[in-house]
A and B are shown apart, each in its own frame.
Chain A
Amino acid sequence: MLSRRIIPCLDVRDGKLTKGVKFKDNVDIGDPVETARHYYEEGADEIVFYDITASSEGRGIFLDVVERVASQIFIPFSVGGGLSTVADMRAVLLAGAEKCSVNSGAVKNPGIISEGAAAFGAQCVVLGMDVKRVPKSAQIPSGFEVVIHGGRKYTGMDALAWARRAESLGAGEICLNSIDADGTKDGYDLELTRLVSESVRIPVIASGGAGNPQHMADAFTKGKASAALIASIVHYGEYSIRQIKEHIAGQGVPMRMVW
Chain B
Amino acid sequence: MLAILDYKAGNQTSVRRALDHLGIENRITADSAVLEQADGIIFPGVGAAGQAMRELASRGLDAKLRELVASHKPLLGICVGCQILLDHCEENDTTTLGIIPGQCRLFNPAWTEEDGSSIRIPHMGWNRVTLKADCPLFKDIPAGAEFYFVHSYYPAPDPEYVIGETRYGETFCSVHGRPGLWAVQFHPEKSGTPGLTLLRNFHDYCLEARNA
Contact = CB atoms under 8 A, between A and B. Distances in A.
Question: Do A and B make up one complex?
Answer: yes
Contact of A40 (B119, B146, B192): B192
B117 A224 contact: yes
Given A201-B109, A201-B121, A259-B192, A70 B127 contact: no
Contacts of A75: 148, 190-192
A76 B190 contact: yes
A206 B122 CA distance: 18
Contacts of A123: 46, 122, 124, 150
A45 interface: yes
Contact of B126 (A96, A98, A256): A256
Contacts, number: 88
A71 B123 contact: no
Nearest to B16: A71
B159 interface: no
B74 interface: no
B144 interface: yes
A22 to B, nearest CB: 25
Interface residues of B, number: 40
Nearest to A259: B192
B123 to A, nearest CB: 7
Interface string B121-156: 111111100000000000000111110101000000
Interface in A7-42: 40
A2 B145 contact: no
Nearest to A220: B115
A110 B48 CA distance: 23
Contact of A5 (B125, B142, B145, B195): B125
- The B contact surface, by secondary structure, is mixed
Interface string A75-116: 110000000000000000010101000000000000000000
Contacts of B14: 70, 96, 98
B126 A3 contact: yes
Given A3-B127, A76-B190, A123-B150, A172 B122 contact: yes
A75 B21 CA distance: 13
A24 to B, nearest CB: 22
Contact of B17 (A71, A202, A227, A256): A71
Contact of A259 (B20, B47, B145): B145
List 9 tightest A-B contacts by C-beta distance, closest first.
A258-B144, A3-B126, A256-B126, A256-B146, A123-B150, A258-B145, A259-B192, A2-B125, A71-B17
Interface of A: 1-5, 40, 45, 70-72, 74-76, 94, 96, 98, 121-123, 172-173, 201-203, 224, 226-227, 256-259
